[in-house]
Amino acid sequence: MKKDIYQDCWVYVFLLISVVVLWEAFLPYGISVRNQFISTSIFFLPFTFLLIHIIDWKYSYQKAILAIVFSSLSFVFFFSSLALGKNILFSDIIGELCGYTVSQFVNLFVFEFVIQRKKKNGIFLYFHYLISFLIYDLFYLFIYISKIVFEDFWFVYFFSLLLEAIVAIPFTWFDKSVQKKIS
């Protein structure tokens, strides 16, 4: 008799989609630093990186790619449903989507081919999180380039990178402990 094995990969994919939807829901909320707005949604980005790592560890690289694609599609659908009846710039949607998708693919690529296969040190994992944050911020910046005209933009940009670097510390520790339990 053949034993059916339940693939709980989809649970993680739906959890990733839920985190992305929460991220979009929290976009309007944030803190003001020197009269510039920093969204609290930056605290959801490391959760997405961690979930992609778990899917890659437990299942496969291909399922992690599928998870990124599905979460990117949910990003578009949720953002477009919020945009109904509102004046939202196309660059807002494209900037967030490109930043999210490219940072997730770079995150997965670096994690799969560098962290998992070569260096299992926690410091490499921490810098991996920082690189993923930097890629997200840079792609969002390049697409949504009109934000540069603000006088305090670069201060806020580097302040948000500092916040992301602080947030990456507990995620690196948790990521490393999850990796030990799965292995």
Give pTM, 2 decimals. Answer: 0.81
Three-class DSSP category at 72 = helix
Q: Are 126 and 97 in contact (CB under 8 A)?
A: no
Within 8 A by CB and 6+ apart from 54, the residues are 12, 178, 182
Q: How many residues does the chain have?
A: 183
Q: Are 47 and 19 in contact (CB under 8 A)?
A: yes
pLDDT tens digits in sequence order for the chain, 183 residues long: 445 455 677 888 888 888 888 887 787 787 777 776 677 777 888 889 989 988 888 888 889 999 999 988 888 777 766 666 666 666 667 777 888 888 899 988 888 877 766 666 778 888 888 888 888 887 776 666 555 555 666 777 788 888 888 988 998 888 888 877 776
Strand partners, 26: none
Which domains does the chain possess?
9-182 (1.10.1760)
pLDDT at residue 87, rounded to an integer: 65
